[in-house]
Amino acid sequence: MATLQSLFNLTGTITGQSDSVSISVNPVLTIGAPSVTSGGITTTASTNQEVIGTADADCYLYVRNTGTSGGGTGTGQIDVVTVDGTKTFGNLKVGDFGFFPIKTGIGVSLKYASAVTNVEYAIFTRP
């Protein structure tokens, strides 16, 4: 097994709220095999691109719509969908990212939404 050092920060001030946003966490994640350290795809109309299968173990998924903000040319959004297509639970505009554990048995596909875009992703199995 290996470990990854994570860091996540959210900071800012929201109109009408006295307390500022100040979230900062940095847990160490224990990682098993297999993994995808860095992957890239370009979305295609009418195609769900599977990145995690239903038979895959619990894992951490990182995904970012790199589009035009990441050196790509894509302007579309990405829907994050269960592999069976029954549930769309996430949506990433250009520049948006997500990091979340995925339970085994669900599977995840990334789906074209509105226009072609570029996707960066990584998957780390959780032991």
Of 14-22, 40-48, 49-57, the segment contacting another protein by CB under 8 A is: 14-22
Which structure tokens are listed for 38? 């860095």
In the bound complex, what is the minimum distance in angstroms from residue 47's beta carbon to another protein?
Answer: 18
Give the span between the Cα atoms of 86 and 109, in whole angstroms. 11
Contact positions with another protein (CB under 8 A) in 63-92 = 64, 79-80, 82, 86-92
User: Using CB under 8 A, which of 45, 53, 85, 97 touches another protein?
Assistant: 97
- Per DSSP, what are the bridge partners of residue 110? 49, 80
The answer to whether the beta carbons of residues 52 and 124 sit under 8 Å apart is: no
Closest CA to 63 of 35, 97, 29: 97
Regarding 46 and contact with another protein (CB under 8 A), the answer is no
Give the span between the Cα atoms of 12 and 28, in whole angstroms. 25
Site residues (vs another protein, CB under 8 A): 1-17, 19-21, 23, 25, 27, 29, 31, 33, 35, 37-38, 58, 62, 64, 79-80, 82, 86-93, 95-103, 106, 122, 124, 126
